[in-house]
Structures are given as structure tokens and as C-alpha cells.
């Protein structure tokens, strides 16, 4: 196969997006959520991985956290990987990392990216259903279960655990 043939082959392959986010908590176990200005509802600090630059999901989670809330923190362990099917967009492989427990000083240092975010808040796990949409809510709940149980990374499809 020539270089041109290979490039044509690669260009014709299906596309999958990658996203990465960090699950931050405070010392009371509340989850840090951000309010985007470009859609309804709340989210975690995170976003699309810039694969065209060679960025990995872990690097994307760190970059997005620094951009969105002004905290440059190395993500902790991988909590979940979620394959979410798309209808109006390509499928997304969503990576969820443990952001850890933020100190009072770190919370006070949060500076929002005004181009994308309206506000942030800490939410009790029992109130997540009131704030997060479908698959994200399930992904966050799965991530919290991994954190609280000490279990290993969970594989999800549309927010639901894959059973083998």
C-alpha cells in the first residue's frame, strides 16, 4: 500500500470523539459542577481532547481543568471510560479522572473561563440527578462509586456498566 493509499484509507475510517473530565470533591464529599453558557444544565470541568495536537485524554483533562476553573492539577487515577453513542454527533469515548478533594484554598482560587462558564457550585451526591443530564449523571455516579469503594476503573456504555 502506498502512502497516498494509506492516507485515503485513514481518511475514510469512522470518527470517534474523545472527551475527558475530572471529578473533584470537597472535604464533605460534595461534587464540583460547572455551568456552561452554551447549553442547559451543569457539567464537570472537562471537554474535548485535542487529538489533532496529539493530546492524550489525561492531558486533555488537565488542560480543560486549568482553562475552565484556573486550577492546574494533575489528574488522579482513571475512574471510568464511557462509550456514548451519538445521533447528531459521532460517538464519544469519555474518560473520567479522579480530581481528588479540593482544599478550601483551592476552592477559593477557582477562576472561571468566562467565554464558556457562568458559575460553579458544590453539589451533594444525592442532588446530582437535579443537575446533570442522563449519561453524564450515570458516569459521575459510577465514578463516585469507584472512589468510595476503592474498586478499579469501570467500563461504561451510555453510562451503564458493561458486564462480561
What pLDDT sits at residue 1?
62
Q: For the chain, what are the domain ranges?
A: 18-161
Please tell me the CATH code under which domain 18-161 is placed.
3.90.79.10
Phi, psi of 38 (to 5 degrees): -105, 0
Count of C-beta atoms within a 10 Å radius of residue 130: 11
Interatomic CA distance for residues 146 and 131, integer angstroms: 21
Interatomic CA distance for residues 83 and 92, integer angstroms: 6
pLDDT tens, position by position, 103-150: 999 999 999 999 999 999 999 999 999 999 989 999 999 999 999 999
Residue appearing with cell numbers 485513514: 10
Q: What is the pTM of this model?
A: 0.92
The H helix count followed by the E strand count for the chain is: 4, 8
Low-confidence ranges of the chain (pLDDT < 70): 1
Contacts of 86 (CB under 8 A, 6+ apart): 17, 92
Amino acid at each position: 500500500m502506498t502512502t497516498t493509499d494509506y492516507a485515503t484509507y485513514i481518511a475514510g475510517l469512522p470518527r470517534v470523539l474523545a472527551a475527558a473530565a475530572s471529578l473533584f470533591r470537597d472535604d464533605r464529599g460534595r461534587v464540583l459542577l460547572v455551568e456552561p453558557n452554551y447549553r442547559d444544565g451543569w457539567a464537570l470541568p472537562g471537554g474535548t481532547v485535542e487529538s489533532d495536537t496529539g493530546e492524550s485524554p489525561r492531558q486533555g483533562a488537565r488542560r480543560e481543568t486549568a482553562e475552565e476553573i484556573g486550577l492546574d492539577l494533575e489528574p488522579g487515577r482513571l475512574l471510568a471510560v464511557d462509550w456514548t453513542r451519538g445521533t447528531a454527533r459521532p460517538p464519544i469515548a469519555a474518560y473520567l479522572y479522579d480530581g481528588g478533594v479540593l482544599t478550601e484554598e483551592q476552592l477559593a482560587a477557582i477562576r472561571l473561563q468566562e467565554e464558556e462558564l457562568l458559575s460553579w457550585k458544590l453539589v451533594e451526591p444525592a442532588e446530582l440527578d437535579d443537575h446533570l443530564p442522563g449519561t453524564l449523571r450515570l458516569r459521575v455516579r459510577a465514578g463516585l462509586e469507584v472512589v468510595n469503594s476503592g474498586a478499579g476503573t469501570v467500563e461504561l456504555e451510555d453510562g451503564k456498566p458493561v458486564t462480561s
